[in-house]
Chain A
């Protein structure tokens, strides 16, 4: 391997030069799809272009992306539990108070980001990530999902985002329209419903990814 290190560097340098040439030869001024998006904004139900693209114009991407999140979680659960680091001590008073203050604030901020996503930067992914961080914080201070919530309630929460998105996507079908083709009059409400469920599902999925095992499993070795 060591003898070929210079060859590898040379090839990667060539790749970098080629990619750089390709990027620099692109036109200096380009609007991309921005005029198309702005032209259709009045039909999207929201006023923020990125949210309109995420949940209306490119709804397929977002729907499948949430399925990818679930797949990653299934992958981790099928590993059968990860080795536990070490028995955790009780959180000290500082950490306990910090968590008691920070977790509600994080939940409020997640709600704010979700709400503001309709007209300004924000939305389901950012809100879900903040919610996931709140879940990670709780786990770090020794909190574990109660036994009775770990079975069906957890699973239903995890799939709720994809399920509600699919239902909303299928709603236009009986009216003779296409999958994910919302009525512009109701698009705003539908997007908010989809985003609300997606936020909770993304947050819980990210927190479960951090936990690293199916909580209904018997304690891993």
Chain B
């Protein structure tokens, strides 16, 4: 079981590479931002796997804080950067 958890954590970490590709390619800022959000979600999953692995309550707290606060950057982006730009309806 322990092997499986760590294997899954490594697999999720590799998934981040796929997200990276979106951050680098874009093409719009929203694509990059969503990819960064995907990073956050994957990190929560990795943290929960590590919490099971080490049987640690503290790591679940870290995952909780992560999940709660990942939204703040996205909202900052939507409110400050994206709303009102001339190309926010852009479908490129």
Q: Are A120 and B58 in contact (CB under 8 A)?
A: yes
Asked if A109 and B64 make an inter-chain contact with CB atoms under 8 angstroms apart, the answer reads: yes
Within 8 A of B (CB), among A175-212: none
Question: Residues of B with Cβ closer than 8 Å to A?
Answer: 57-58, 61-62, 64-65, 68-69, 71-72, 75-76, 78-80, 83-84
Nearest first, the 4 A-B pairs at minimum CB distance are A121-B58, A140-B79, A133-B72, A133-B69
Mark the stretch among A33-41, A82-90, A154-162 that contacts chain B.
A82-90
Chosen A-B contacts, 20 in total, with CB atoms closer than 8 Å, are A85-B80, A89-B83, A89-B84, A91-B79, A95-B75, A95-B78, A102-B68, A105-B68, A106-B68, A113-B61, A120-B57, A121-B58, A121-B61, A122-B58, A130-B68, A133-B72, A140-B72, A140-B75, A140-B79, A140-B80
Q: Is the CB of B80 within 8 A of A122?
A: no
**Least Cβ–Cβ distance between A52 and chain B, in angstroms:** 16
> For the side of the interface on A, what is the size category?
20 to 34
Distance A41 CA – B68 CA, assembled complex (angstroms)? 33
